[in-house]
Chains A and B, each alone.
Chain A
Amino acid sequence: DGGITQSPKYLFRKEGQNVTLSCEQNLNHDAMYWYRQDPGQGLRLIYYSQIVNDFQKGDIAEGYSVSREKKESFPLTVTSAQKNPTAFYLCASSIGDRVVDGELFFGEGSRLTVL
């Protein structure tokens, strides 16, 4: 089954702990993205990567880190520096290193709750 797989779907962590969310794609897409989805605030871009071993900050990168060591994988680490980490996180990819025809392909999301 092709597509984007995010894991875990639900995650609970104590305050002060780092947590890593996984995003894997088997679509052979070049670019990958992490968005945060909050009610009333829409989707906000955290980080994106257009090519392996390179990534750029989005609009709300503070308190997050990423890596892109393989084309298929783009994990997101939510660090203890992120002031309000409880949210729904969405990973996406696009065919080229640009958003071709406006189409992003999204995963099912990961819901992180910090207690």
Chain B
Amino acid sequence: AQRVTQPEKLLSVFKGAPVELKCNYSYSGSPELFWYVQYSRQRLQLLLRHISRESIKGFTADLNKGETSFHLKKPFAQEEDSAMYYCALTHPSGSRLTFGEGTQLTVNP
């Protein structure tokens, strides 16, 4: 069965420091992975897709099939990056998403 694991429930960094939010997955076949973000008092929203290979708000994520990981990285964290981050994986049928446990990121001034 597919599974998404985010090993860190809480992550705290200082402004300007690099940040990496870890995501590991188990999946048979070619996975489609995503990062979602939930800022305080805002709706959960899609941040980025692995297939797009895009950088959103300075964040990037690389799919490493060998390590079955999809870690989210930003070289210089900002206070406005403080939020809850979820890693997600598409079900093989494409009909649903499986989410990880979430990581609460706090960027301190």
Q: Do A and B come from one complex?
A: yes
Q: A: which residues have CB within 8 A of B? A: 31, 33, 35, 40-45, 48, 50, 56, 58, 90, 92, 97-99, 101-104, 106-108
- Contacts A42-B6, A106-B43 given: A48-B101 contact, CB under 8 Å? no
Q: Does B86 count as interface, using CB distance less than 8 angstroms?
A: yes
Interface range, B side: 20 to 34
- Contacts A102-B49, A106-B44, A107-B43 given: A58-B90 contact, CB under 8 Å? no
Number of A-B contacts (CB under 8 A): 58
Evaluate contact between A108 and B99: CB separation under 8 angstroms: no
Cα distance A42–B100 in the bound complex, in angstroms: 6
Evaluate contact between A45 and B101: CB separation under 8 angstroms: no
- Contacts A99-B90, A102-B32 given: A42-B101 contact, CB under 8 Å? yes
Evaluate contact between A102 and B88: CB separation under 8 angstroms: yes
Q: Does B94 count as interface, using CB distance less than 8 angstroms?
A: yes
Evaluate contact between A99 and B101: CB separation under 8 angstroms: no
Cα distance A95–B33 in the bound complex, in angstroms: 18
Contacts of A101 in B (CB 8 A): 49, 51
Cα distance A103–B88 in the bound complex, in angstroms: 10
